[in-house]
Amino acid sequence: MTDFSHLNKKMEPQIVNISAKQVTHRRAVAQATVEVPENILQKLKEGDFKTPKGSVFQTAIIAGIMAAKKTGELIPLCHPIGLENCEVHIEVNDKNEIEIYCTAEVEAKTGIEMEALTGASVAALTIYDMCKALSHDIIIREIKLIEKSGGKNDFRRE
């Protein structure tokens, strides 16, 4: 099976050769969903989402951006690319779940979805870390690509 882009003909790991690709504008949005117990959500709301460790959402936003910038160092076969834009937005939805959105953009020969996914993931882990003193019953339920554009294929989750 040679359909996996990160395997060569001998089925050994390889970085994808992007030398012949054209530079295009690439954008990706990823989402992570964090479920916290009601007591944590109430404490966060009462304290304007601030804790003795600092502002939970603001710290998670910074962590997500920092992680997106380091994606090429964290994912072994991911190309290191110069991130040109990264935004992390966090909100509480009507189900009292914390939704994290990470948008990443670059002009490059290869995609940016791993950076968006990494940013959303680390932001979710940061929320877990900052709230775990109240309860370990925190669930990072879902991390998914919402959309990507640029390159060979565009994608938008319905």
Closest CA to 16 of 141, 148, 114, 139: 114
Whether residue 94 lies in the annotated active site: no
- CA distances to 47, 78, 109 from 87, rounded to whole Å, are 24, 20, 21
Taking the C-alpha atoms of residue 61 and residue 101, their distance in angstroms, rounded to an integer, is: 10
Identify whether the C-beta of residue 8 lies closer than 8 Å to the C-beta of residue 74: no
Residue type, 90: I
Using CA atoms, how far apart are residues 46 and 90, in angstroms rounded to an integer? 17
57 close to 34: Cβ distance less than 8 angstroms: no
**pLDDT tens, N- to C-terminus, the chain (158 residues):** 447 788 888 888 888 888 889 999 999 999 999 999 999 998 888 766 666 777 899 999 999 999 999 999 999 999 999 999 999 999 999 898 999 999 999 999 998 999 999 999 999 999 999 999 889 999 999 999 999 999 888 999 98
The answer to whether 88 touches 119, Cβ cutoff 8 Å, is yes
What span, in angstroms and rounded, lies between the C-alpha atoms of 38 and 134?
11
At 43-84, the pLDDT tens digits run: 888 766 666 777 899 999 999 999 999 999 999 999 999 999
The one catalytic residue in 3, 94, 129, 137 is 129
pLDDT at position 153 is: 87
**CB contact burial 102-111 (16+ within 10 A = b; e otherwise):** bbbbbebbbb
Is the CB of residue 100 less than 8 Å from the CB of residue 143?
A: no
For residue 2, the model assigns a pLDDT of 47
Query: Could you give the CA distance from residue 15 to residue 45 in angstroms, rounded to a whole number?
Result: 45
By CB atoms closer than 10 A (0-12, 13-18, 19+), residue 127 is buried
| Cα separation, 154 vs 136, whole angstroms | 38
Question: pTM value?
Answer: 0.91
